[in-house]
Chains A and B, each alone.
Chain A
Amino acid sequence: MNSKIVFGSYVPVKSILHRLDPRIKLIMCIIYVILIFFVNNFLAAIWLLLALLAAIKLSNVGLRQYWQGIKPLFLIILITVAFQILFSSGGKAYWHWGIMAITRDGLINSLIIFYRFIVIITASTVLTATTQTFQIADALAWLMKPLQVIKVPVNQITLMLSIALRFVPTIMDETNKIMKAQRARGINFNAGNLLTRIKHLVPILIPLFVNSFKRAEELATAMEARGYDPNAPRTHYRQLVWHKNDAWAGLALLIVTVGLVCIRIFF
């Protein structure tokens, strides 16, 4: 059992955020992300950043671990930002070459994009670091409940989702195993040009697919043997119960929202 700490994985420590109901955490995360898009000035940006820093502090998870979560995505963010800088126009131009130019608007836009990326990724990492995946699935199920009215098979979807999440570590382990086995057969995943590297994915992906299909088939049979009928009603072992702290969390969210609205109106 090794190297299971990846982007978006749960950090098993104790904190106020860990104890919160997953529903309030999911709602907070969603609303926070929406709020980010209403940021139009420096002060608003700082205000939401402060809220995020408070959440990080309360999560009892070290900043370094958050950085571990963002790091793999950092390159993509930088490339996007660079594109934004070089290919947007408007405002005072500082430098240009062919179709590329660095302009005042371009700089400001890219700064905003950079800010949004980092803040949104960190906010969702706060959610996943403090909430186990199956709890997030439960919260999603609860959020989707109203869709049942328009005949969306919410129960099937959530069961599917929670089973998919349950098998993520299994499949990661399996990927590791297959990679090791193919490396033992002399393949070097770090060598060659892009095309060779893509070709090197075949000996990993094919066995992975074949094994996963087999897994899925066996799992389906096992579920049937255990009395699962997708069309029958089921009871639910996992129950979500609201606590007093969840109300406080909701209040905090309200304050952040009202604060943002005030900043937008008065500044």
Chain B
Amino acid sequence: MAKAAITVKKLHYTYPNSTNEALHNVSLTIKEQEFVAIIGQTGSGKSTLVSLIDGLIKPSSGELNVAGLEINATTKTEYLSKIHHQVGFVFQFPEQQLFAETVAEDIAFGPHNLGWPAKKIEKAVDEALKMVDLPLELKSHSPFALSGGQMRRVAIAGVLAMDPQILILDEPTAGLDTQATNDLLKLIKDLNEKGTTIIMVTHQMEQVAYYANHVIAMSNGQVVADTTPQQLFRDAQRLKKLSLTLPVSVEVAQFLSKDGITLKNTEPLTLDVLADEIAEAMRRKRK
């Protein structure tokens, strides 16, 4: 069993000036090197949960342990900032947070805040640029002169340069075309395979099916499912109630099973698996 990267116990959170709880009694465990997908409607508490994990807000009650750091309602703000040595957070449309005069400066911002020595920062910047597949020549360019897709990659590089053990991404592929989406997901998958724990907030069930091995569904500030993608997609009724869709491969399998054609694997997570199942069913039928 892998070690727990994050444990959350009976977490409650209410925003200042609000009377409704944004998070209600949330408990969960995320293990090291897991690829976790967090799903749910806008306002379901997803963003609040990941903000708490990154120490950007303090719990109203309950506690969490993030990469060995204990956090509860009384934790001091200085202590919270320690989290950023371990956890990286790529916000939605991260290119909207670029600010520096050059690409290199912008990427160096995070490592600089962590107090790294200049040599180490420089190396981290180069490595991060390589990871997001941007040429080193861009270092001296203004980030605002780049294309939208390149700006997104610079912003992500700025987080990767901090070398996080745990990486949170809030809809990292929103607004990207298919090619750029696939490139980015591949990068995230690679990081995961090299040991980074990934927590990805997403609306795309295809991404959940293809990449995640642990899925947390939220609704009205509560965790309503904490399971594997396979298990989650088995319960089409519940998904519908949560206004979530099925990935195409599962949708086709469930469409067929409604008409009495049951495949061996009723929740094929990829089209490849689905195609295998269909081929198998055809063979059986011919016999």
Chain A interface (Cβ < 8 Å from any Cβ of B): 2-5, 177-178, 180-188, 190-191, 202-204, 206-207, 210-211
Contacts and interface: CB of A to CB of B under 8 A. Distances in A.
Contacts of B78: 188, 191
A57 B81 CA distance: 45
B56 A184 contact: yes
A181 B91 contact: yes
B134 interface: no
A186 B81 contact: yes
B158 A185 contact: yes
A203 B155 CA distance: 13
Contacts of B18: 2
B96 to A, nearest CB: 6
Given A177-B91, A178-B96, A184-B84, A203 B109 contact: yes
Nearest to A6: B17
Given A188-B81, A210-B144, A181 B15 contact: no
A72 B54 CA distance: 29
Chain B CB within 10 Å — which of A2, A183, A211 has the most?
A183
B248 to A, nearest CB: 33
Contact of B96 (A187, A190, A211): A211
Interface residues of B, number: 30
Nearest to A183: B56
A35 to B, nearest CB: 34
B84 A185 contact: yes
A33 to B, nearest CB: 29
B6 to A, nearest CB: 16
Contacts of B117: none
A149 B16 CA distance: 48
Contacts of B96: 178, 207, 210-211
Interface in B73-123: 77-78, 81, 84-85, 88-89, 91, 94, 96-100, 109-110, 113-114
A181 B97 contact: yes
Contacts of B54: 184
B162 A180 contact: no
Contacts of B99: 202-204, 206-207, 210
Nearest to B43: A1
A207 B159 CA distance: 17
B51 interface: yes
B17 A2 contact: yes
27 contacts: A2-B15, A2-B17, A3-B15, A3-B16, A3-B17, A177-B91, A178-B96, A180-B51, A180-B91, A181-B94, A182-B97, A183-B81, A184-B89, A184-B159, A185-B110, A185-B113, A185-B159, A187-B113, A188-B81, A188-B113, A190-B77, A203-B97, A204-B99, A207-B97, A207-B98, A210-B98, A210-B99
Given A181-B91, A181-B94, 11 more contacts: A2-B16, A3-B15, A180-B51, A183-B56, A185-B84, A186-B84, A186-B85, A187-B113, A206-B99, A210-B96, A210-B144
A230 B54 CA distance: 47
Interface string B130-166: 0000000000000010000000000000110010000
Given A203-B99, A207-B99, A180 B56 contact: yes
Contacts of A211: 96
A167 to B, nearest CB: 16
Interface in B8-39: 15-18, 22
Contacts of B17: 2-5
Among A4, A187, A191, the one with the most B-chain Cβ atoms within 10 Å of its Cβ is A187
A178 B93 CA distance: 11
Report, nearest first, the 9 A-B pairs whose CB atoms are least far apart: A186-B113, A2-B15, A184-B89, A206-B99, A185-B110, A186-B84, A181-B97, A181-B91, A203-B99
Contacts of B16: 2-3
Contacts of B159: 184-185
A108 B133 CA distance: 70
A12 to B, nearest CB: 13
B258 to A, nearest CB: 40
A177 B207 CA distance: 25
B56 A185 contact: no
A93 to B, nearest CB: 46
A21 to B, nearest CB: 29
Contacts of A202: 99
A5 B158 CA distance: 33
Nearest to B112: A186
A186 B77 contact: no
Contacts of B15: 2-3
A201 to B, nearest CB: 10
Nearest to B116: A186
Residue in B54, B88, B91, B99 with the greatest tally of chain A CB atoms within 10 Å: B99
Nearest to A202: B99
Interface string B210-238: 00000000000000000000000000000
A109 to B, nearest CB: 37
Given A180-B51, A180-B56, A185 B94 contact: no
